[in-house]
Amino acid sequence: ETDFWQVNFHNDNVSWSTINKEINDIPWHILFNEKNTETCINILLSCLLMLCIKLIPRKKPRSKSKIPRERKKLLNRMKMLKREKHRTYSKIKEKMLEKKIHETESMLIHHRKEERRTKEKKVIENMKNNQKVLFDYINKQKDRDAKIGPFKIQNEYIYD
């Protein structure tokens, strides 16, 4: 069963002029003729809900994790490669796995940079319309940790 909470009113593809036209085209006088207030409200809500379901896209289900799917795959790949490297006895295979780990790390860094770039673009685009977006972004940048590392020195990781 759908209700108004499942419809995404903030979507860019919502055609409000079409919705207004549809609402104006409904013969409200005929629908509400000789009915009590409660019945009229129920009729109004059901008509509006049907219009919204028909013309407005539904909200996408939120994932439980806030980590993007692509980055989650890279992190899992990194975990699998490190586990495999730990189990291996061959030096050749260990070097090959070390190379794959390094490639995955660089892909992770690239993904994080791209995500940061897209967020900055969104903030810049929406800055004139809604200044709150800019201030929210600045405050999030201000509150983040300034940690660096880990560093790798002679096949040994240093975290502090």
pLDDT band at 5 (very low <50, low <70, confident <90, very high): confident
0.75 exceeded by the pTM? no
For residues 70 and 24, is the Cβ–Cβ distance under 8 A? no
Q: Is the pLDDT of residue 6 over 80?
A: yes
Q: Say whether pLDDT at 10 is over 90.
A: no
Cβ neighbour number for residue 67 with a 10 Å cutoff: 11
Amino acid at 127: M
Amino acid letter for position 52: C
Share of the chain above pLDDT 90, in %: 48
**96 — pLDDT class (breaks 50, 70, 90):** very high
pLDDT at 1: 53
| pLDDT of 117 above 90 | yes
CA–CA gap between residue 15 and residue 4 (Å, rounded): 17
